[in-house]
Amino acid sequence: MSVSEELQQTIAEMVDGRRGILAADESNGTIAKRFDSIGVESTEENRRFYRAALLSTEGLGEYVSGVILFEETLGQADGAGTPLPQLAAAHKIVPGIKVDKGKGPLPGASGDMITYGLDGLAERLEGYKAQGARFAKWREVYPISSHNPTRLGLTANAEMLARYAAVCQSVGVVPIVEPEVLIDGDHSIERSAEVNEQVWHEVFHALHRHGVVLEQMLLKPSMVTPGKDCDKAPPEQVAEYTLRSLRRAVPAAVPSINFLSGGQGPEEATANLNALNQLWQAPWQLSFSYGRALQEPALKAWQGKAENGPALQQALNKRARLNHLAMLGEYQESLERE
């Protein structure tokens, strides 16, 4: 199979109009904070048990087509010795891998950030492929302030995303391109729309320069919302502003837009995705790639106790099903009470 055929097969399995992506790629520092919230120590065994429970959820593959894994998880196995990427694949969920190495300040651009991890990426990807990963994810973050993102911040982050995506496609790994415009601050939804539009324009200019095949990548953007220090916008307004900016900046060749939840609560993220799919017949699939917005109820149900595994899986399946319905524009708030 050629590299292009590999990429197209992965896209075909992940983009079907009814399923989204589970983001389970929290770094050890981030998952420690999640576990702290339920009073559970973040040991390797606890992380392995929790993520194995997520991936062995019966029926999850009806609503989730891919899972983003952390490097540690890619090498772990369930209690029966099945490697976790194989466990996901057995449920018709394509395994993927987070490949960036975290972020830091961008020199010369006060307040902007840049993500690390390009060195040796092609070699790392070959190793991840051997462990079962078929797609990858790289995140760049963009704070909003009176002067951020700067012109340097926009161009430098877009260049990193494009270089990463080009390397992925060269070895037959589908890239998820994640330009996250942060929700922190008191900016208006109008300011959020302005920045997201600038970011997406810059990212797609860079992808074009680097020869990235748009039909064989996925975009994981923020929804356009006000800053978290402002009142929340209703779902219909979030959908209106998000779609207007997407239409202006994202080529129709991209097969799927899998939104990140970016600090939204589970119900809020689902309601906003539903409004997006009700408002406009988009040229792209409008889907989800949620982490906390899918996992939060599952974590609360688990509480670090093995006997709560079935409750964890029931909570995850419910959230995944509700987001599947949101992709169809058929989600109703009354379903939360079921």
Q: SS3 for 65?
A: strand
Catalytic annotation on 220?
yes
Task: Report which residue type is found at 29.
Answer: G
Under 8 Å between Cβ of 294 and 318: no
Which tokens hold the place of 92? 């018709």
β 103-105/113-115 pair status: antiparallel
Contacts of 250 (CB under 8 A, 6+ apart): 200, 204, 219, 257, 284
Q: Which residues make beta-bridge pairs with 129? A: none
CA distance 98 to 288: 16
> Burial, 231: exposed, middle or buried (Cβ in 10 Å; 0-12, 13-18, 19+)?
exposed
CA distance 128 to 54: 20
Catalytic residue among 197, 220, 240, 318: 220
Diameter over CA atoms, the chain = 53
Cα 135 to Cα 87: distance, rounded to the nearest angstrom: 16
Helical (H) or strand (E) element with 32? helix 28-36
Q: What are the beta bridge partners of residue 179? A: 140
Q: At what angle do helices 121-130 and 151-170 cross, to 10 degrees?
A: 50
Considering 178, 180, 197, 202, which one is annotated as catalytic?
178
11 Cβ partners below 8 Å, 6+ apart?
Answer: 174, 215, 216, 218, 255
Catalytic residues: 178, 220
